Structure 1
Amino acid sequence: MFQNKKTSIIILTYNNINYNQICLESIRKYTTLGTYEIIIVDNNSSDGTREWLKEQTDIKLILNDENLGFPKGCNLGINAAEKDNDILVLNNDTKATPRWLDNLKACLYSNEKIGAVAAITNNCSNYQAINVPYTDIEDMIDFADKNNISNSEMWEEKSRLVAFCMLIKREVINKVGTFDERFTPGNFEDDDLCMRIVDAGYKLMVCNDSFIHHFGSTSFKSDYAKFNNILKTNAHKFEEKWGFNSNSESLLKFDIINRINEPIEKKLNILEFNCGLGSTLLKLKYMYPNAMLYGIEPNRNVAKISEKIIETITQDFEENYTMNFKESKINFFDYIIIGNKLQFSKDPWKLLTELKKYLKPDGYIIATIPNLMHYSVIKGLLKGTFIYNHDSILNPKCTKFFTLPDIQKIFEECGYINPYIFHYSREISQEDNNFLDQICDIVGSNMKGFFMSYQYVAKFQNNTFIDTQT
């Protein structure tokens, strides 16, 4: 039983004594006695933290004579942990809440394939932060107490986790190792560990039923320039090791996600081109638990990880317009998400036509398409620049470009119906608005909307369903 499994809570400290005190006091208050040990690794604090830590009788304390950074410090803590304990890495600028650890453990041990889990919070990247109703930390506990009711329907699979509060099975640590110290002083070491966990065949989960408060990156706040330099350096180290950028390959495409509206219980078959690490598909799986996920990912380094999460193929569909999944996918998909593939296609008409046979008779295709008529493109052209302007909404590698009428025409010519085209625009400056008014003086004021949209998300339905009814 997971209730009997002990947890070693690893906390690094470097000054910020007030946060350190809040963190430890909250753990003692809201964590079942006897189910955990606390290991503090202090990275040479100078604000009284070390002296205060020496007074604490219920912790294991490691005092470093220099700041070793996050990965090395965590590894010292992990190595000092009881050998059978699971490992929970916790930031010192957090405040624990009722049932926080119990709920994490319930998810972690609900399936032998789950290797690590993480909490949600008010301040975090990787979509692990939620909007909170409280404005005062004193009101936070009431909110967390209501949120932290163990519920398996609130467990969400992810392609990576942020280690501000991350619980890892001991067997996983033993199998994949600890943090890679090349990422010292910190950042991307958690992404790297997550990739190793997934590559070893385990799942990563976010527990939306375990909320803790996170004050947020206190160790780096004093020097943002240094922080940004470390981010860039370690992002490069990660790419050298894995062959891709973990941030860009795990972005959630909400413009796509929001275009799928189905009954929650419906069994959906969803395919995504350029699926990355599968993050968007996993979000759809969380929304539609009976969905089956499939991906096409041309980057073999990315696909090596994503294929452990979803069924993934790496082939270029446009080479022979086939899909080499384990089983035939003819008339199979409810949704095919092609993203920006139209702009890079050698023959968009043939691409759309060939995809129809893989859609169910009433299935949908969804594409994201930048607007060639956006005022910024027109303005750039008038100044002598086009796609090579670094501020352009157009990708320099695009080979095809579309306006709104073009989008409607190409889908209709390829046999799609029931268009849903969603327009995305931003606020513009007064200067740009004056520019638009001058353009509209020439082409007509009714055209202003065509210049305002920087991107369209086009959702069209396969017309085979209609044809079979006639």
Structure 2
Amino acid sequence: MDNYTATQLLQSLQAGHEGIRHLDNCIQNGELNISDLAILDDLSDLLSVVENSTATVSTPNRVKEINANIMFYINELKENATHDNVELFLYDFRFHFSSLYRILEFEVAYIAEDLVSKRDYPRFYPEIGVVDHDDISARGANSLCKVSIVLLAYNNLDYTRDCVESILMNTNNVDYELILVDNGSTDGTKEYFDSIPGAKVIHLKYNIHLVKGFNMGLMAAEGKYSAAVCNDFIFTPNWLENLIICIESDDQIGFASPGATSISNLQQISIPFISKEDFQEKAKEYNVSDPSKWEERVVLLPNVLCCPTALLNRIGYYDTRFFRGEFLDDDISFRIRRAGYKLIYCGDTVTHHYGSLTTVTDHQTNSLEEGRETFKERYGLDAWMDARMSSTYLDIEANLLSGVNSILGIDVKCGATLLQIKNRIWSIHGNKPKLSVCTTERKYDVDVSSIAEQVFPLDSLSQLPEVMKKSIDLVYIEKPLDCYSDNLETIFNSLSHTMNANGKLVFTVNNIISIESLYEMLNSSNSVHNRKIYIRDMVCAQARINGFELYSIVNYAPQRNPESDQMVENIAQFLGNGRENEVNYLKSLLNSTYEIYQMSYIGNESI
């Protein structure tokens, strides 16, 4: 596809949209005539042009499946108009045909994005412009109900039935509508959905997969909030009420999600149970709204995507470029947060997750790496390396976090671990410290600015005293000290000028004989050659000179693959020469990627 073709396609889709608006206006005014339906024939011709123009593009897309669904509903609309089935015509026009067309617009816009000026087509590129929070609030005030629960299912009827029944059983205390999206199932899901009284049911003739299937349901939402859920979850007493309590506690919250029995991103809540009934009873006891269990996050997994409906509409729902759905959660987290909203994990609410039924077929492909690469292309960041929490924060002593009202994060990437330190202080000590960030890596500026009150760019740590005076209770440095060009004397002297009396300092140093370091040396990695080598005594001595007192040192060992584990065993056995104590010591060193230093600042009269 070339620039001219891309431009023509977007202009043609815009003209098609104007035709759909004309039909909609005629419907609203009660003036729709059979002659107006000629627009549907024109749209059929347009679909053919779109499909032919995108047939050979290398960009993964589902234009063919989307068009097949649109054509099915064009024929349904004609049939209903001919037989004067007004109610069915109106339903299909609004919740099937119009939404499918919008999904097609997003799909083609993604294919064409490098060939056009996005600012010329703001309808197709929701990232253009600033999100108006007042407008989002105003739109929510005129909603049909409090929440639209959107459930997507593709086959797996037994799980779907359990999910729906758990929603019906446990959501009586919230004014909601239930939107059920059948993504082209062949196992009786369609008939089951049609049997649910009062549900708004959307049937897709052909499977358009997770991203677009969810968007079909979200586009049909008429509640102030939307709560999107997968069919492999079981919901529990007060699940939705607790989420709404959270999201309405602060108008800056744009996304809330609960915990689950099986999930990553530290959103797992372990509750032993022996049956579904037993789980519901235990969940009822657990699900008591408790703000001390709310955690602000950089990335939130959508066990439930609970967001203002108008916000999802404004940002364009789930991003169609995530072809199989992997890293979709990271992307929507980024877009909501960058739009000026907070993400809150509601650790006071548990659900049950069977595990990835919705995406199981895609997991059989290379979907994880594909999605990870898509995210990198979109943001210039690695979702796993740059936006996930480091387990090191779990090892910070709780007593070290007492009395902390201000935190300075230095080179904290997107700030996920820094936020979690703040969350721990809130949970343990009941206060929310002020966050500031200094960064020597500018690619993180946008994201740390979304969570911190102040962000200061630095070229080196020697500039710290210029931007931060003595006002910080806790300094957390995520980047290992041996990776800085500044020497230890400069680093600790600079840090001492930012610390309050009795302030705390947490930082890491690479363990030079960890298995990762040995691999890097064997591969002649530049990251090793450019890194300093610091031993404990050297670090502690320089810290003391500048007024810091050692609190503790913790070795941090991440989870490894079996090959690395076996290599650790082999090296330890060889060097230890069969002596048990020496072997265990060597294994601990080889396993420890970082040494985590926790210090207190006691001051230095010479400063």
Give the TM-score normalised by structure 2.
Answer: 0.68
Distance 1:65 1:316, change over 3 A: same
**Aligned residue number for residue 204 of structure 2:** 64
SS at match of 1:183: coil
Tell me if the contact between 2:210 and 2:358 (Cα under 8 Å) persists in the aligned partners.
Answer: no
What amino acid sits opposite 1:364 in the alignment?
K
**Contact 2:472–2:503 under 8 Å retained in 1:** yes
Shift of 1:257: 4.2
State the match for 1:250 in structure 2.
Answer: 387
Q: Measured at CA, do residues 278 and 436 of structure 1 come closer, stay the same or move farther in structure 2, by a change above 3 Å?
A: same
The residue that corresponds to 1:76 in the other structure is 216
User: Quick one: structure 1 residues 460 and 387, their matched pair in 2 at CA, closer, same or farther if it must change by over 3 Å?
Assistant: farther
* Residue 417 (1) aligns with residue 549 (2): yes
Aligned residues of 1:300 and 1:314 also touching (Cα < 8 A): no
- 1:304 matched to 2:443? The reply is no
Residues 185-222 of structure 1 deviation map (CA, whole Å, 9 limit, x = unaligned): 31222322222211221111111222111111013335
The 8 Å contact of residues 242 and 301 in structure 1, kept in 2 or not, is answered as: no
- Which of 505, 509, 523 matches 1:388? 523
Query: One-letter code of the match for 2:464?
Result: T
Q: 1:28 matched to which residue of 2? A: 168
Percent same amino acid among aligned pairs? 26
Shift of 1:358: 0.7
* 1:250-329 matches, cutoff 5 A: 250-262=387-399, 266-289=403-426, 290=431, 291-318=433-460, 320-322=462-464, 329=468
Partner of 2:501: 361
Cα deviation for residue 10 of structure 1 reads 1.0
Deviation at 1:41, TM superposition (A): 1.5
Q: 2:155 aligns with which of 3, 10, 15?
A: 15
Structure 1 residue 43 and structure 2 residue 180: aligned?
Answer: no
Residue-by-residue CA offset, 1:360-409 (whole Å, 9 max, x unaligned): 2322222211222447756x6xxxx716378xxx9547521223334334
Equivalent of residue 241 in structure 1, options 372, 378, 381: 378
Q: Deviation of residue 445 (structure 1)? A: 8.6
Do the aligned residues in 1 keep the contact of 2:254 with 2:342 (CA within 8 Å)?
yes
Q: Which structure dedicates a bigger proportion of its chain to helix?
A: 2
How far off its partner does 1:168 sit? 0.6
SS in 2 for 1:321: helix
Q: Which residue of 1 aligns with 2:324?
A: 185
Which letter does structure 1 place at the counterpart of 2:483? F
SS of the residue 2:550 aligns to: strand
Partner of 1:85, secondary structure, is strand
After superposition, give the CA deviation of every residue in 1:59-98 in whole Å (9 maximum; x if it has no partner). Answer: 222222222122211111112222x432111011111110
2 CA distance for matches of 1:419 and 1:409? 13
**2:283 counterpart of 1:148:** no
Q: Which amino acid aligns with 2:273?
A: Y
The worse-fitting range, judged by mean Cα deviation, of 430-439 and 65-74 is 430-439
Counterpart selection for 1:197 from 336, 351, 368:
336
Q: Counterpart of 1:464 in 2: which secondary structure?
A: coil
Alignment of 1:431-442 (within 5 A): 431-438=570-577
Aligned pair in 2 of structure 1 residues 33, 296: CA closer, same or farther (>3 Å)? same
Q: Return closer, same or farther for 1:33/1:268 CA change in 2, 3 Å cut-off.
A: closer
Deviation at 1:4, TM superposition (A): 9.4
Contact 2:144 2:224 in 1 (8 A): no
Q: Which amino acid aligns with 2:282?
A: F
Which secondary structure state, in structure 2, belongs to the residue aligned with residue 120 of structure 1? Answer: strand
Deviates more, 1:189-198 or 1:316-325: 316-325
1:279 and 1:113 map into 2 onto residues whose CA distance is: 18
C-alpha separation between the residues in 2 aligned to 1:115 and 1:101?
15
Shift of 1:42: 1.5
SS in 2 for 1:288: helix
SS in 1 for 2:360: coil
Matches within 5 A, 1:132-171: 132-171=271-310
Mean Cα deviation higher: 72-81 or 283-292 = 283-292
Deviation at 1:235, TM superposition (A): 1.7
Partner SS, residue 266 of structure 1: coil
User: What is the aligned residue count?
Assistant: 451
Matched residue type, 1:388 = N
Change (3 A) 1:387 1:72: same
Distance in 1 (CA, whole Å) between partners of 2:524 and 2:285 is 50
Q: Which amino acid aligns with 1:342?
A: L
Structure of larger gyration radius: 2
Q: Which residue of 2 aligns with 1:219?
A: 358
Letter of the structure 2 residue corresponding to residue 81 of structure 1: A
The separation in 1 between residues aligned to 2:578 and 2:455, in whole angstroms, is: 46
Report the CA distance between 1:155 and its aligned residue. 1.8
Native 8 Å contact 1:336 1:366 kept in 2: yes
2:540 aligned residue: 408
Q: Which SS does the other structure have where 2:457 is aligned?
A: coil
Which structure exhibits the higher relative contact order, with contacts defined as CA atoms closer than 8 Å and separated by 6 or more residues?
A: 1
Q: Cα gap change, 1:374/1:435 in structure 2, threshold over 3 Å: closer, same or farther?
A: farther
Task: Kindly provide the amino acid, as one letter, of the partner of residue 183 in structure 2.
Answer: N
Tell me if structure 1 keeps the 8 A contact 2:553–2:597: yes
Q: Structure 2 CA distance, aligned partners of 1:134 and 1:446?
A: 38
Q: Distance in 1 between matches of 2:272 and 2:333?
A: 31
2:209 partner letter:
G
Aligned alpha-carbon RMSD (Å)? 3.2
